[in-house]
């Protein structure tokens, strides 16, 4: 019989939160001299290979954890020296004056990052720090995913590292487990302890990296408008990086009415804008990827940040702030605080739930939860009043195309003088956190879908076909690779899918899972004259969009094994 594998501390996910936790824990353990064992599980083939983000980040937590990060060659693409919030029509662009938008969207002085490379760097820093603390044994496992949470005697005891565990070797136990994943496994812990009263809501980020002929280093744009002019919450971004590279992408909320939104194609439509066409001219696509972002904010946070034997960090906790466009610094702060709480508990030999209570208290008192509270109604303001994005934004975008954006804003008021003013005042009060309407409760994203929804048509701008990629072609740039026998998406009931296909087919549409897939995974096959759901799993970029938008809650995306999946290094 195999010996039980047990660590003092088990970190699920090679995330910025968990790697910050590991590094700071090693600092504390080096000082205390106590002996500990630590394991980090990363489902990707290497640290960073399943990580994707924008990213423009406030370096304040980075400076706290690694004061000498520059001397340690932390990978910085650029320092933002020009920050814009722009409204796009179908062909015009208006860079709003800074006084018209929240100060949180001014990213001057922030770091433009490639998060996959940052995470890889952080994993190396953990390994180097471990050499300075021989009293701590650190095992860093790549290609190992957590497939199941182990509960023993009412507490989290560890995880299973295979989907169908057959022996003790398939389990990793720990006195404490930290979950820093994007919901693949932490959702089971949240459901088990019934931690969330308000559902999490999600957006999907789709992103490309391009090599250009001209440098835009340090220039940052966040955009509203084209091609999201049908009422869906979201926008685009362009970040100038070193070596004449740029990141171009979109973040699109999955509470859209449109069942056939197709985020990957929205990104292609975004790139058709003349402003971007000029930028991409003669350029070369290097990488493509997609990932979910938890955007529910304050009211979607779990009631408890820690449970017996475990705590939640970063995206597992849901601390991303949509209004601030910030998640990395918040995730790192979670890891920093968690390290101190866990080290203190382990030194004392206190494995009770109460020993982890300071984690939630300290985060609540920090900028992480304080700012989340201030911004608690940001998403709700747009859900509550669909006219903001469905009517008012398109009118302003039309004004941009006509060369008079302020006239477009005036037209909003002229069409509905009292209603628009009242809408604006209320929305601004919610967005700025000045108005308190008490607790809110979202409904799951898929419940916003209107099957018969028809998006308005706009005349497409002229574009160079060489800059536009079909979904099957885009998958090539995500570098997906799966081991034989891979079955990482569960379809619970095939007949439910048949019925769903029939519903959308009668409306002249395809199903949301097929349309909104960011790769080329879901398809409709005709078998014995019946349209059925099929999957090309080898294309999956592991974003979980299909699961979120499935109207029948009939899909679940699971962690892969052996490091299978996309390779996001460079994204």
Mean pLDDT of 35-55: 96
Question: Domain range for residue 427?
Answer: 378-439
- Within 8 A by CB and 6+ apart from 446, the residues are 254, 512, 548, 549, 550, 551, 553
State the sign of the Cα–Cα–Cα–Cα dihedral 348, 351, 357, 360.
positive
Residues 401 and 537 in one domain: no
Exposure string over 368-404, b if 16+ CB within 10 A, otherwise e: bbebbebbbbbbbbbbebebbbbbbbbbbbbbbbeee
Instruction: Enumerate the β-bridge partners of residue 571.
Output: none
Mean pLDDT of the chain: 95
Domain boundary (353, 374, 395) is at 374
Residues 169 and 317 in one domain: yes
- Domain membership flag for residue 127: yes
pLDDT value of residue 100:
86
Structural domains of the chain, count: 3
Residues 56 and 157 in one domain: yes
CB atoms within 10 A of CB 57: 27
* φ, ψ of residue 455 in degrees (nearest 5): -70, 145
Domain boundary (374, 398, 413) is at 374
Alpha carbons 380 and 378: distance in angstroms, whole number: 5
Alpha carbons 209 and 180: distance in angstroms, whole number: 26
Contact 204, 252 (CB under 8 A): yes
- Within 8 A by CB and 6+ apart from 250, the residues are 205, 206, 207, 228, 234, 235, 236, 237, 263, 266, 267, 270
Closest CA to 42 of 72, 5, 16, 69: 16
Contact 536, 520 (CB under 8 A): yes
Closest CA to 292 of 6, 523, 499, 557: 557
Mean pLDDT of 221-247: 98
Mean pLDDT of 379-404: 94
Q: Within 13 Å, how many C-alpha atoms sit on residue 10's CB side?
A: 25
First CA to last CA distance, the chain? 44
- Domain membership flag for residue 268: no
Alpha carbons 303 and 103: distance in angstroms, whole number: 30
- Domain membership flag for residue 278: no
Residues 323 and 412 in one domain: no
Residues 15 and 140 in one domain: yes
pTM (predicted TM-score): 0.96
- Domain membership flag for residue 269: no
pLDDT band of residue 429 (cuts 50, 70, 90) is very high
Alpha carbons 494 and 275: distance in angstroms, whole number: 45
Find tokens 């769903």 and name the residue. 500
Residues 316 and 361 in one domain: yes
Residues 42 and 120 in one domain: yes
* φ, ψ of residue 177 in degrees (nearest 5): -125, 135
Instruction: Show the beta-strand stretches assigned E in 296-438.
Output: 306-307, 310-312
List the structure tokens of 505: 């087919």
410, pLDDT greater than 80: no
Tell me whether the omega of the peptide bond preceding residue 106 falls within 30 degrees of 0, making it cis: no
- Domain membership flag for residue 236: no
pLDDT value of residue 119:
98
Please state, for a pLDDT cut of 70, what percent of the chain lies above it: 98
pLDDT value of residue 406:
75
Mean pLDDT of 301-313: 98
pLDDT band of residue 418 (cuts 50, 70, 90) is low
Residues 420 and 307 in one domain: no
Residues 327 and 191 in one domain: yes
Long-range contacts of 99-106 (CB under 8 A, 24+ apart): 102/323, 102/431, 102/432, 104/323, 104/324, 104/325, 104/326, 105/222, 105/325
- Domain membership flag for residue 291: no
The domain spanning residue 488 has which CATH number?
3.30.70.20
Residues 97-144: tens digit of each pLDDT = 988 888 889 999 999 999 999 999 999 999 999 999 999 999 999 999
The DSSP-derived string for 196-216 is -SS---EEEEEEEEEE-SS--
CA dihedral 309, 199, 298, 263 (to 10 degrees): 110
* φ, ψ of residue 490 in degrees (nearest 5): -90, 130
SS3 content of the chain, % helix, strand, coil (to 5): 35, 20, 40
Find tokens 């995730």 and name the residue. 331
Alpha carbons 129 and 124: distance in angstroms, whole number: 9
Find tokens 């800074």 and name the residue. 98
468, pLDDT greater than 50: yes
Residues 332 and 433 in one domain: no
pLDDT band of residue 285 (cuts 50, 70, 90) is very high
Residues 485-526: tens digit of each pLDDT = 889 999 999 999 999 999 999 999 999 999 999 999 999 999
Domain boundary (350, 374, 398) is at 374
Contact 514, 500 (CB under 8 A): no
Contact 333, 366 (CB under 8 A): yes
Residues 405 and 350 in one domain: no
The DSSP-derived string for 113-172 is --HHHHHHHHHHHHHHHHHH-TTEEEEEEES----EEEEETTEEEEEESSSS--SGGGEE
pLDDT band of residue 1 (cuts 50, 70, 90) is very low
- Domain membership flag for residue 211: no
- Domain membership flag for residue 363: yes
Alpha carbons 330 and 313: distance in angstroms, whole number: 9
Residues 289-299: tens digit of each pLDDT = 999 999 999 99
pLDDT value of residue 54:
84
Residues 28 and 130 in one domain: yes
């Amino acid at each position: 019989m195999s010996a039980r594998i047990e660590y003092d501390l088990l970190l699920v996910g090679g995330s910025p939160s968990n790697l910050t936790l590991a590094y700071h824990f090693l600092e504390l353990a080096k000082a205390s001299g106590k002996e500990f064992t630590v394991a980090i599980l990363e489902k990707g083939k290497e640290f960073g290979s399943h990580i994707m983000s924008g990213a423009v980040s406030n370096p304040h937590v980075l400076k706290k954890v690694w004061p000498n990060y520059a001397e340690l060659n932390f990978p910085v693409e650029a320092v933002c020296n020009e920050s814009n919030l722009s409204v796009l029509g179908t062909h015009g662009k208006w860079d709003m004056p800074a006084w018209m938008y929240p100060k949180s969207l001014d990213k001057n002085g922030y770091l433009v990052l490639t998060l996959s490379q940052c995470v890889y760097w952080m994993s190396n820093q953990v390994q180097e720090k471990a050499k300075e603390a021989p009293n701590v044994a650190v095992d860093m496992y790549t290609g190992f995913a957590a497939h199941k949470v182990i509960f023993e005697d009412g507490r989290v005891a560890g995880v299973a590292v295979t989907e169908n565990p057959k022996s003790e070797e398939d389990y990793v136990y720990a006195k404490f487990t930290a979950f820093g994943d994007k919901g693949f496994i932490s959702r089971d812990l949240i459901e088990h302890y019934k931690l969330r009263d308000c559902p999490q809501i999600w957006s999907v980020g789709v992103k490309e990296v391009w090599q250009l002929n001209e440098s835009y280093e340090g220039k940052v744009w966040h955009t509203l408008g084209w091609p999201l002019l049908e009422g869906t919450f979201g926008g685009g971004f362009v970040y100038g990086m070193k070596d004449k590279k740029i990141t171009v992408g979109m973040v699109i909320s999955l509470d859209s009415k449109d069942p056939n939104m197709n985020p990957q194609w929205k990104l292609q439509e975004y790139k058709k804008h003349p402003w971007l066409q000029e930028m991409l001219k003669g350029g070369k696509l290097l990488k493509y990827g997609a990932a979910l972002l938890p955007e529910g904010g304050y009211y979607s946070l779990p009631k408890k940040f820690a449970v017996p034997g475990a705590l939640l960090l970063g995206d597992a906790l849901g601390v991303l702030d949509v209004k601030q466009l910030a998640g990395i610094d918040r995730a790192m702060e979670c890891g920093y605080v968690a390290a101190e709480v866990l080290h203190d508990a382990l030194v004392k030999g206190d494995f009770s739930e109460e020993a982890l209570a300071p984690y939630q208290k300290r985060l609540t008192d920090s900028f992480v939860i304080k700012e989340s509270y201030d911004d608690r109604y940001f998403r709700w303001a747009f859900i509550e009043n669909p006219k903001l994005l469905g009517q008012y934004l398109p009118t302003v975008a039309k004004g941009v195309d006509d060369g008079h954006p302020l006239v477009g804003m005036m037209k909003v008021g002229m069409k509905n003088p009292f209603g628009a003013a009242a809408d604006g005042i209320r929305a601004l009060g919610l967005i700025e956190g000045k108005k308190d309407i008490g607790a809110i409760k979202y409904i799951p994203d898929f419940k916003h879908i209107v099957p018969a929804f028809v998006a308005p048509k706009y005349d497409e701008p002229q574009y160079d076909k060489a800059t536009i990629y079909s979904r099957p072609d885009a998958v090539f740039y995500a570098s997906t690779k799966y081991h034989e026998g891979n079955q990482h998406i569960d379809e619970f009931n095939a007949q439910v899918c048949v019925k769903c296909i029939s519903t959308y087919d009668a409306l002249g549409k395809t199903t949301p899972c097929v349309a909104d897939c960011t790769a080329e995974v879901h398809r409709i096959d005709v078998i014995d004259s019946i349209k059925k759901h099929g999957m090309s799993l080898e294309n999956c970029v592991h974003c979980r969009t299909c699961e979120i938008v499935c109207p029948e809650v009939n899909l679940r995306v699971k962690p892969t094994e052996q490091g299978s999946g996309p390779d996001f290094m460079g994204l």
